[in-house]
Amino acid sequence: MSSARTSRSRSLAAHGILMLYTVIALFPVFVIIVNSFKSRRAIFAEPLALPTPATADLVGYRTVLSQGDFLLYFQNSLIVTVASLAAVLLFGAMAAFALSEYRFRGNTLMGLYLALGIMIPIRLGTVAILQLMVASGLVNTLLALILVYTAQGLPLAIFILSEFMRTVSPDLKNAGRIDGLSEYRIFFRLVLPLVRPAMATVAVFTMIPIWNDLWFPLILAPAEATKTVTLGAQVFIGQFVTNWNAVLAALSLAILPVLVLYLVFSRQLIRGITSGAVK
């Protein structure tokens, strides 16, 4: 950047503010991770202190790994998150392509209808969803969760992706048609790569609420075999006694997989966030 456009004090101030925000945002995570490595007494005595040889204790992790089947919970969470994410991205992108590319009767109405889901929380329909799952015999299956999360994620995905797809040059798609590419090839080979940053943005926004959700696993799939991590961690929170070591250890472990997924998408995400601004 040229020095004419940058002032030292202003960029210092900007960085200061960003640092402050980062510290505030990361603080709870920091506290959870630090305390997950301490003994119960140390957690309550000095919650902000780093673990020292005297206070360090892996009892939380030992409890988590020995009690309950956390490996299975992790697997369940991963299956649900990845499958829902894939379904949201695939069907969301396809619907967005149809809405942005084809002129048909009721196009706008359909777009509005699909966007309505952004404003109406899906939890309002919990009772009906539960009845539906009971009737179709899907209670206590991962499929129930995958279906619900796909429905939950689609509206925002369609909304964001159709806006992005409108910006893809119509000439490019027409060139593909003249060259004899099928609509599927045009969608997968020409359009999707161009909206990849938007896909990553949608992926992150979809993935995190699904991973963290407690509501639907509790209602639709509370069985031992289908528990997700967030639900599994609840066994350590009792009405009278809470095993804080175990809760904190479970939460620390639960951060890891999303962190990995996030890192996978983050390169794209940064391009997505800045793509409107730069160019």
Partner 1 sequence: MGSLTLTAVTKSFGATHVIKGVDLEVADGEFCVFVGPSGCGKSTLLRIIAGLEDATSGDVVIDGRRVNDVPPAKREIAMVFQSYALYPHLSVRDNMGLGLKQSGADAATVKERVAAASAMLSLDPLLERRPAELSGGQRQRVAIGRSIVRTPKLFLFDEPLSNLDAALRVATRIEIARLHRELGATMIYVTHDQVEAMTLADRIVVLNAGRVEQVGAPMTLYNDPANMFVAGFIGSPKMNFLAAGPLGQPGKTLGIRPEHVAIDRGQGAIAATVSHVEHLGGETNVYARCEEHGLVAVRLFGEHRFEVDERVFLTPDPARGFHFAEDGSRLRV
For residue 56, give the 3-state DSSP assignment.
Answer: strand
Give whichever of 137 and 180 is closer to partner 1, judged by the CB atom. 180
Distance CA 216, CA 227 (A): 11
Give whichever of 16 and 193 is closer to partner 1, judged by the CB atom. 193
Q: Which of 50, 127, 172, 256 binds partner 1 (CB under 8 A)?
A: 172
263 binds partner 1 (CB under 8 A): no
Q: Which of 177, 259, 263, 270 binds partner 1 (CB under 8 A)?
A: 177
Q: How far lies 43's CA from each of 38, 233, 252, in Å?
A: 6, 18, 15
Asked if 258 contacts 70 with a C-beta cutoff of 8 angstroms, the reply is no
Distance CA 246, CA 226 (A): 20
Asked if 186 contacts 173 with a C-beta cutoff of 8 angstroms, the reply is yes
| DSSP 8-state assignment for residue 102 | -
Distance CA 37, CA 51 (A): 7
Give whichever of 118 and 181 is closer to partner 1, judged by the CB atom. 181
Distance CA 217, CA 229 (A): 10
Least distance to partner 1 from the beta carbon of 99, Å? 17
169 binds partner 1 (CB under 8 A): yes
194 binds partner 1 (CB under 8 A): yes
Task: Specify which residues 242 forms β-bridges with.
Answer: 237
Q: Which of 115, 190, 208, 218 binds partner 1 (CB under 8 A)?
A: 190
Least distance to partner 1 from the beta carbon of 190, Å? 7
For tokens 């920091």, the residue is 30
# chain residues binding partner 1, by CB under 8 A: 15
171 binds partner 1 (CB under 8 A): yes
Distance CA 78, CA 99 (A): 31
Give whichever of 50 and 175 is closer to partner 1, judged by the CB atom. 175
Give whichever of 88 and 191 is closer to partner 1, judged by the CB atom. 191
109 binds partner 1 (CB under 8 A): no
Q: Which of 178, 260, 277, 278 binds partner 1 (CB under 8 A)?
A: 178
Tokens of 204: 């992150």
Distance CA 203, CA 199 (A): 6
Least distance to partner 1 from the beta carbon of 5, Å? 26
Binders of partner 1 among 112-151, rule CB under 8 A?
none
Q: Which of 68, 111, 176, 217 binds partner 1 (CB under 8 A)?
A: 176
Q: Which of 3, 10, 104, 179 binds partner 1 (CB under 8 A)?
A: 179
Q: Which of 59, 130, 181, 218 binds partner 1 (CB under 8 A)?
A: 181
| DSSP 8-state assignment for residue 181 | -
Give Dmax (Cα) for the chain: 73
Binding site for partner 1 (CB under 8 A): 169, 171-172, 174-181, 189-190, 193-194
